[in-house]
Amino acid sequence: MPRLVIISNRLPITINRKDGELHYHPSAGGLATGLNSLDQSLERIWIGWPGQEVNDPEEQEVIRQDLLEEGLVPVFLTQQEISLYYEGFSNKTIWPHFHYFTQYTTYNDEYWEAYQQANRKFADATIPLIRPDDLVWVHDYQLMLLPAMIRQAFPKVSIGFFLHIPFPSYEVFRVLPWRKEILEGVLGADQIGFHTFNYMRHFLSASYRIAGFEHNFGKLTVGNRLINVDVFPMGIDYDKYAFPEINLNGDDSSFSIKQLAKGKKLIISIDRLDYTKGIPNRLLTFEKFLKKYPEYHRKVSLMMLVVPSRANVDQYQELKEQVDKLVGNINGQFGTFDWTPVQYFYRSLNFSELITLYQEGDIALITPLRDGMNLVAKEYVASKEKSKDGVLILSEMAGASNELMDALIVNPQDANGIVDAIHQALVMTEHERRWRLTNMQEKLKKYNVRHWAATFFKEQKKLMEKQQDQQTHQISAEEREQLISKYRTANKRLLMLDYDGTLMGFHNDPQAVQPDGELLDLLQQLAEKEENQVVVNSGRDRHTLQEWLGHLPIQFAAEHGVWVKKDKDWEINSSLNNKWKKEIRPVLENLVERTPGSFIEEKDYSVAWHYRSIDRDLGEKRVREFRDVLLYLTHNLDLQVLEGNKVVEIKNAGVNKGKATDLWLNGTDWEFILAIGDDHTDEDIFKVLPDSAFTIKVGLDRSIANYSLPGVSEVRSLLKEILAQ
């Protein structure tokens, strides 16, 4: 079993100093409680900050030894790091920005500098502990540069990254001056996980638009590495909340909570003090409710628990004052001698108090303006396992709303909607409360925190196997040797080479990919050898191939097999006609008119619509729109539609690179065949070649070729090696 190496900003244990003494207690917040519930049988180490400034080396050593027993490794942050990296870049830049509070985003180079250095500090603490077969998990927005730093030290180790907060829309993310560095940091990981599909697609969109990485159903290739981006909604330790192992009656404060709840309907509200949680909005909504429904005065109370958090960040201090004031206003306005409408606590609760609150709460009012997941919502539902009684009102802006559809889902900005939901919850029948809770509980039981971790773990291992497969698919030194030795002894050799993406790199302007001197020399020398027949089998038109390569002693297939040049002249595939062009052309012209930047390429017996320099998503939308029209037309006209890399090409049916390849296969007993190509039109070549041929796919995509090479420069090196024989 590989070990799990977890790195998060905060350890699940926080240290507090009281009267000069150090105290250890569990950290608040979803990440710590969630990850701490993981299967303890898995060997793991956890590296992170213990939440307290400790400068004395002797004291640091004592803490290190204490934590070691729990498999925890502390990273000590200095006061300056805490204020610039944690309170600064993490909580004044990324946190507000990723939660769409862009008015709070602080742009400060000093913070950014500190963020980089602190990520380096976590890397320095982690790297010496990593073993090559470990599974490394980096967590959250404080450590977005860390995956790439670990990758640099361990090119092969498997790294997972999970973001616990939302990943914002590309339009918001792009505003950050450090967007590219942040993305590249995360892309150092092999598997990247998010709570919801929306966060995932925002990330993929940013990776494409900012760093140029295209994806295929969440899989993308960075350099030589396959990356998996996916959704892994985090669950809770269901049983811990459903069947709490505590004696509720023996606990004084739990008893008091029960007393408070007696004879009234209790609405509970539990969050860290954070502007993302929408606490002031919630209070204003409750005020609205009390105004609209006076009949509920003295019958309903809001028990609001606000857990202190990030107290040194300005907005959090301001928020505290705002909340204090709002609570005062409501209580002053509506309170009576025997009823306090808002019971407000600014502190954290111990587990038994928290459970009592969950169990006593008739309604949980959870209305964050944005929230990565929100585990409180899930914990509330689980704690109703026995009673099956309670109503969850949940913001649609919390990641959890994607799973808890049977809650009363509200828009946190729609105060009237929430007032209605509170009323609906109060009058809801017992039957409805039960079925809503039961449905949600079923989900939470299955998709618990262990399931979350196990799925992430399983997918990361599956990915490792896939990556391994790709590595083995890549031609090894030994196989290269076999290829060379076969080449050496053969007297009749066929070298069938694609052009774009194989011999030359890809470019937005197809005419800008003229062969360079090195390529011309290479082809010239290969073709000069008497035993060799070099064929460039390309989708390009014959005029371009003629102009660029026509002077070389090589043969050609152009336009995906429409034209062939074996001797001096170009010959056409006899089954072709181009009468159909006048019907297709207007369809493509309409595409160009509506899509600036796209263009039509007309070849002798085919027409192509290129969208390589426009937004890929827009291009694909256009292709989808026109696919039906094209299919209808092409069916009547016996044509085929080839969807290539940012291009749709229409031509006569039954003509492709493979058919053209047949022209070289028939009649010659080749003793050595090598075919190299990069896109799916080259698969037609690989298909028709005999098993003895060496077929090589350029890139990491799936292929029926025997081997793969990463890119154009590796193709050229192989050809040079062959030439040296």
Ligand X SMILES: O=P(O)(O)OC[C@H]1O[C@H](O[C@H]2O[C@H](CO)[C@@H](O)[C@H](O)[C@H]2O)[C@H](O)[C@@H](O)[C@@H]1O
Ligand Y SMILES: O=c1ccn([C@@H]2O[C@H](COP(=O)(O)OP(=O)(O)O)[C@@H](O)[C@H]2O)c(=O)[nH]1
Under the rule (CB under 6 A), what is the footprint of ligand Y? Answer: 28-30, 33, 270, 272, 307, 348-349, 354, 373-376, 379
Q: What's the min distance (Å) between Cβ of 27 and ligand X?
A: 7
Please list the residues that pair with 555 across neighbouring strands.
535
DSSP secondary structure letter of residue 102: G
Q: What's the min distance (Å) between Cβ of 143 and ligand X?
A: 9
370 forms part of the interface with ligand X (CB under 6 A): no
Contact between 293 and 258 (Cβ < 8 Å): no
Kindly tell me which of 287 and 379 has the beta carbon lying closer to ligand Y: 379
Tell me which stretch binds ligand X (CB under 6 A): 23-31, 119-127, 261-269, 386-394: 23-31
Tell me which stretch binds ligand X (CB under 6 A): 27-35, 118-126, 293-301, 699-707: 27-35
Kindly tell me which of 290 and 393 has the beta carbon lying closer to ligand Y: 393
Taking CB under 6 A as the criterion, the residue among 6, 144, 227, 375 binding ligand X is 375
233 forms part of the interface with ligand X (CB under 6 A): no
Q: Which entry of ligand Y, ligand X, none binds 349, CB below 5 to 8 A by partner kind?
A: ligand Y
How far the first Cα of the chain sits from its last, in Å, is 46
Contact between 423 and 282 (Cβ < 8 Å): no
- The DSSP annotation for 658-700 comes to HHHHHHHHTT---SEEEEEE-SGGGHHHHHHS-TTSEEEEESS
Kindly tell me which of 29 and 597 has the beta carbon lying closer to ligand X: 29
- Interface positions, 304-343, toward ligand X (CB under 6 A): 309-310
DSSP secondary structure letter of residue 521: H
Contact between 636 and 626 (Cβ < 8 Å): no
Q: Which entry of ligand X, ligand Y, none binds 310, CB below 5 to 8 A by partner kind?
A: ligand X
Q: Which entry of ligand Y, ligand X, none binds 376, CB below 5 to 8 A by partner kind?
A: ligand Y
Tell me which stretch binds ligand X (CB under 6 A): 30-38, 123-131, 596-604, 634-642: 30-38
Q: What's the min distance (Å) between Cβ of 449 and ligand X?
A: 10
Per-residue buried b or exposed e for 14-33, using 16+ beta carbons within 10 Å of the residue's own CB = bbeeeeeeeebeebbbbbbb
Taking CB under 6 A as the criterion, the residue among 63, 159, 165, 366 binding ligand X is 165
Q: What's the min distance (Å) between Cβ of 47 and ligand Y?
A: 19
Contact between 281 and 328 (Cβ < 8 Å): no
Q: Which entry of ligand X, ligand Y, none binds 448, CB below 5 to 8 A by partner kind?
A: none
Q: Which entry of ligand Y, ligand X, none binds 502, CB below 5 to 8 A by partner kind?
A: none
Q: What's the min distance (Å) between Cβ of 587 and ligand Y?
A: 51
Q: What's the min distance (Å) between Cβ of 140 and ligand X?
A: 4
- Interface positions, 237-296, toward ligand X (CB under 6 A): none
10 forms part of the interface with ligand X (CB under 6 A): yes
Q: Kindly report the backbone phi and psi dihedral angles of residue 309, in degrees, each rounded to the nearest multiple of 5, phi listed first.
A: -155, 140
Kindly tell me which of 440 and 608 has the beta carbon lying closer to ligand Y: 440
Kindly tell me which of 272 and 542 has the beta carbon lying closer to ligand Y: 272
Q: Which entry of ligand X, ligand Y, none binds 397, CB below 5 to 8 A by partner kind?
A: none
87 forms part of the interface with ligand X (CB under 6 A): no
Kindly tell me which of 378 and 433 has the beta carbon lying closer to ligand X: 378
193 forms part of the interface with ligand X (CB under 6 A): no
Distance CA 53, CA 283 (A): 35
Q: What's the min distance (Å) between Cβ of 372 and ligand X?
A: 3
Q: Which entry of ligand X, ligand Y, none binds 233, CB below 5 to 8 A by partner kind?
A: none
In this structure, the strands spanning 672-677 and 493-497 are: parallel
Q: How far is CA 145 from CA 90, 149, 230, 483, 503, in A?
A: 12, 7, 19, 41, 35
Q: What's the min distance (Å) between Cβ of 479 and ligand X?
A: 45
Neighbour order of strands in the sheet with 647-652:
599-602, 606-610, 647-652, 639-644
The amino acid at 291: K
Q: What's the min distance (Å) between Cβ of 379 and ligand Y?
A: 5
- 500 classed as catalytic: no
CA-based nearest residue to 103, from 311, 309, 281, 314: 314
Q: Which entry of ligand Y, ligand X, none binds 198, CB below 5 to 8 A by partner kind?
A: none
- Going 17 to 18 to 24 to 26, the CA torsion angle's sign is negative
User: What residue number has its CB nearest to ligand Y?
Assistant: 30
CB-based burial label for 211 (10 Å; 0-12, 13-18, 19+): middle
Kindly tell me which of 275 and 672 has the beta carbon lying closer to ligand Y: 275
- Interface positions, 464-523, toward ligand X (CB under 6 A): none
Kindly tell me which of 309 and 656 has the beta carbon lying closer to ligand X: 309
Neighbour order of strands in the sheet with 4-10:
72-74, 44-49, 4-10, 135-139, 158-162, 191-194, 225-231, 219-222, 215-216
Kindly tell me which of 235 and 658 has the beta carbon lying closer to ligand Y: 235
- The DSSP annotation for 604-617 comes to SSEEEEE-TTS-HH
Q: What's the min distance (Å) between Cβ of 275 and ligand Y?
A: 12
Q: Which entry of ligand Y, ligand X, none binds 10, CB below 5 to 8 A by partner kind?
A: ligand X
Kindly tell me which of 2 and 34 has the beta carbon lying closer to ligand X: 34
Size of the site for ligand X (CB under 6 A): 17
Set 362, 371, 406, 498: catalytic member: 498
Q: Which entry of ligand Y, ligand X, none binds 360, CB below 5 to 8 A by partner kind?
A: none
Cα radius of gyration rounded to whole Å, the chain: 32
Kindly tell me which of 30 and 278 has the beta carbon lying closer to ligand Y: 30
Distance CA 478, CA 639 (A): 44
Distance CA 443, CA 235 (A): 10
The tokens describing 252, both together, are 């004084």
Q: Is 18 helix (H, G, I), strand (E, B) or coil?
A: strand
The tokens describing 62, both together, are 């004592």
Q: Is 286 helix (H, G, I), strand (E, B) or coil?
A: helix
- Going 363 to 364 to 368 to 372, the CA torsion angle's sign is negative
Distance CA 351, CA 371 (A): 22
Tokens 């994806």 sit at which residue?
A: 215
Kindly tell me which of 348 and 546 has the beta carbon lying closer to ligand X: 348
CA 117 to chain centre: 25
234 forms part of the interface with ligand X (CB under 6 A): yes
Contact between 534 and 566 (Cβ < 8 Å): no
Q: Which entry of ligand Y, ligand X, none binds 270, CB below 5 to 8 A by partner kind?
A: ligand Y
143 forms part of the interface with ligand X (CB under 6 A): no
The upper half-sphere exposure of residue 545, i.e. CA atoms within 13 Å in the direction of its Cβ, equals: 27
34 forms part of the interface with ligand X (CB under 6 A): yes
Taking CB under 6 A as the criterion, the residue among 2, 12, 30, 185 binding ligand X is 30
Tell me which stretch binds ligand X (CB under 6 A): 16-24, 108-116, 368-376, 624-632: 368-376
The upper half-sphere exposure of residue 345, i.e. CA atoms within 13 Å in the direction of its Cβ, equals: 17
CA-based nearest residue to 27, from 35, 19, 18: 35
164 forms part of the interface with ligand X (CB under 6 A): yes
Q: What's the min distance (Å) between Cβ of 50 and ligand X?
A: 11
Q: What's the min distance (Å) between Cβ of 29 and ligand Y?
A: 4
538 forms part of the interface with ligand X (CB under 6 A): no
Kindly tell me which of 374 and 544 has the beta carbon lying closer to ligand Y: 374
CA-based nearest residue to 559, from 657, 473, 640, 416: 657
Q: What's the min distance (Å) between Cβ of 303 and ligand X?
A: 21
- The binding site for ligand X (CB under 6 A) comprises 9-10, 29-31, 34, 140, 164-165, 234, 309-310, 371-375
| Active site residue ranges | 498
